[in-house]
Structure 1
Amino acid sequence: MDAAAAAALLKAIAAADAVSFDFFDTLFYRTVDAPEDVFDIMGRRFDVPNFRAQRKAAQAEAFVRMHKAGRKEISLAGIYECLPLDQALVQALQAAEHALELDIIRPDPVVLGALNYALELGKPVVITSDMYFTEPFFREALSRYGVPAVPLFISSTCDATKRDFGDLFDLVVDYLQVPRAKLLHVGDNPHGDVTQAKAKGLTAFLYRREAPATIPAATRADGGNVPEDPYELGYTFGGPCAVAFLDWMERQAREDGIDHLLFWPAMATSWNASSGKTLALGICRAAAISAVPARRIPWLPSTTIIFPRTCLTCCPGQTGCRLTRCWSV
């Protein structure tokens, strides 16, 4: 959000009697490109093939069951009840999604500043969200990231939504007891946060979060904007790059019908296409590699491509081991 829009938001808050903030993509944002990326991470963690598709199908089925039961919103528990998997695995996946979502969210500094500004002015503030997570998730998020605890109006808890009929806004108005036109709602969704809010007589502010800087711009040769802290550098750039590269290699391996991937020298891991598991081998250190033919390619600081007979040298007892393809960046 540019300076003019941020100033307009603060002006709107000053003119309101009370303020409601949306949660996801407004007060908080996810550090993944798309919400469904969480399902891909979980699929890899739990070795569940095509978990993204299974999780999305379960959510669709949860909506079907919701309508049949006469309810207005789904819950995370309701979604996982629709997964046709072993119950112990289902429970572990549900807990993991709850924990992972808490790990990948961060407060939006602009909106958090606006929330604190409203509180400083003595305005009543609430959070109003259409979401299948229930109140404990939001309480934990606010506590973990140091955001002031304010009243929560969550669709899965209230069984009312913004998106369908706007009746979640009615609950907020009843609670705050302020004139509808003097209640400001801030959110990112043009329909649920603006159209529906206005249909209920509220004042609405559409929030558009400014896109973060791209990685190429943040890794210039002169070091501009590169985090100095090694942990932050690895967390912000190193980790996402490594995961993206491994995802690409996995897709290529499956397309080429490759059974195993071996990583040399320091990583020394094996990826099995049939199980999707990555196994630590604890072999193939640099000293062993130096004794066999190799072509070195510069890459953080170097990647070594090993010729076929290296497989036999580094994997004693293995037969029929043949190098079919090498990748480098």
Structure 2
Amino acid sequence: MAINFEIFMGPLLILVCIALILFGVFCAQVYSYWTTYEHDPLNIKLLVLALSVLEFTHSALCLHILFEYFISDIGNPAALGGIVWCVQVTVFIEIFIVTLSQGFSIVRIWQLSERNVYATATAVVLLFFRVAFGFGTFFLSWEGVRQPDIHAAPNLDTTATGTLLYVYRTWDEFHSHLGSFATFNCGLALAAVVDLVTTVLLTYYLRRNRPAFRRSRFVIQKLIFYTVNTGALTMLFSVTTLFLFRFLGTSLMFGGMVEIISKLYANSTLALLNARQRIKNQAAADTSGINSIPLELRGGSSSGTSQIQITHPTRVKVDIFREVSTSAGDPGMSTPRENGLDTKGAYEMA
């Protein structure tokens, strides 16, 4: 097909550049995490390390995509419609990043729900199918990909989106065939559904476990705010990419959106981890006046000068409550049950 370079490649260039900017934001968040939460549990540190390695590799491949399309193939219009190998690899890396991010949310649901199997299983099953549409059948069709006749009709029943990028050598083929159309759309739709389910479940259990203490209520409200906003953002981009792939096939805008989605998931996870100390500081500032006890003393005044006289001694009853909360940055401490509600999961994994 004839390719309009500006319409076909222009959005890809802009969106990949935005994705690289988001990678810079991610690097800043990683630096902030390692300098602030040195005592986090090992599993959280491994999560951050894995996301860092995957994001670095993904960003390097994004640069290679720009090099291939806008430098190597700039004088070859026929090659601009082809799918370069680095695009295929970014698809698989993105699946790992999304899985780690959404898996982190599912673990939080498991803790907040006090190991509710039914609530957690719903999100796990959806995530499993989302991953399956991405690359679950890649190994089954690997031998078929290596066959010389790459334009032969692939076995659409055993080919996932990532594999179809190998089978279809041009974007026109990838967009027009039913197999790639189904797997790509189902993968994005399931990613959005997983975001919706995890956000709703996390919000429900955070609200259910909301304690009576003012500071703890403040922390829970902030956690709900971060959860809803990050979940809504990634879900919105997944749905938008789905519609772009469906109705704007003459442009690679959907490809650029896929690269951005990877950065959004990684940044949302790091933002939630880094927000813990800020939420604690805000909660402490919000409740700083609780320890002071205002006393109203009645008295009289004369000769233009004010004098305070205590006419009757007042007995003041002071109830002292001790509130203890922990986060993933405070290992070895336990969170007490407040008003019969265990908020440990919210603090540990938030």
Q: TM-score w.r.t. structure 2 length?
A: 0.26
The higher relative CO (CA closer than 8 Å, separation ≥ 6) is in 2
Bigger Cα Rg: 2
More strand by share: 1
More helix by share: 2
Q: TM-score w.r.t. structure 1 length?
A: 0.27
